[in-house]
Amino acid sequence: MTGRQSSEPPRFDATFQASLRDLILWRRDVRRFKTDPVAPELISSLIGLAASAPSVGHCQPWRFVLVERPSCRDEIKASFARANADALEGYSGERRRMYARLKLEGLKAAPVHLAIFADEETDVGSGLGRQTMPESVRYSVVAAIQTLWLAARAHGLGVGWVSILEPERVAAALKVQKAWSLVAYLCIGWPHEEHVDPELDRQGWQSKIEAEKLIFRR
Contacts to its own copies from residues 151-170, by CB under 8 A: 151, 153-156, 161, 163-167
Contact letters for its own copies, residues 15-34 (x by CB under 8 A): -xx-xxxxxxxxx-x-----
**Residue 69 carries which DSSP code?**
-
Q: Is 216 near its own copies (CB under 8 A)?
A: yes
How far apart are alpha carbons 92 and 96 in whole angstroms? 5
Closest contact distance (angstroms) between CB of 109 and its own copies is 19
Residues 77-106 that bind its own copies (CB under 8 A): 83, 86-87, 90-91, 95, 99, 102, 104
Closest contact distance (angstroms) between CB of 99 and its own copies is 7
Which of 31, 33, 38, 67 is close enough to bind its own copies by CB under 8 A? 67
Q: Is 192 near its own copies (CB under 8 A)?
A: no
Closest contact distance (angstroms) between CB of 53 and its own copies is 7
How far apart are alpha carbons 152 and 155 in whole angstroms? 5
Contact 136, 130 (CB under 8 A): yes
Q: Is 145 near its own copies (CB under 8 A)?
A: yes
Instruction: Pick between residue 13 and residue 36 the one whose CB is nearest to its own copies.
Output: 13
Contact 59, 137 (CB under 8 A): yes
Which of 38, 59, 107, 188 is close enough to bind its own copies by CB under 8 A? 59
Q: Is 146 near its own copies (CB under 8 A)?
A: yes
**Residue 117 carries which DSSP code?**
E
How far apart are alpha carbons 53 and 145 in whole angstroms? 9
CB atoms within 10 A of CB 44: 11
How far apart are alpha carbons 149 and 205 in whole angstroms? 23
Residues 6+ apart with CB under 8 A from 112: 38, 43, 66, 186, 187, 188, 189
Q: Is 41 near its own copies (CB under 8 A)?
A: no
The alpha carbon of residue 84 and the mean position of all alpha carbons in its chain are separated, in whole angstroms, by 19
Q: Is 109 near its own copies (CB under 8 A)?
A: no
Q: Is 5 near its own copies (CB under 8 A)?
A: yes
Which of 37, 184, 187, 189 is close enough to bind its own copies by CB under 8 A? 184
The closest alpha carbon to 60, from 135, 1, 118, belongs to 118
Q: Is 188 near its own copies (CB under 8 A)?
A: no
Q: Count of residues binding its own copies (CB under 8 A)?
A: 111
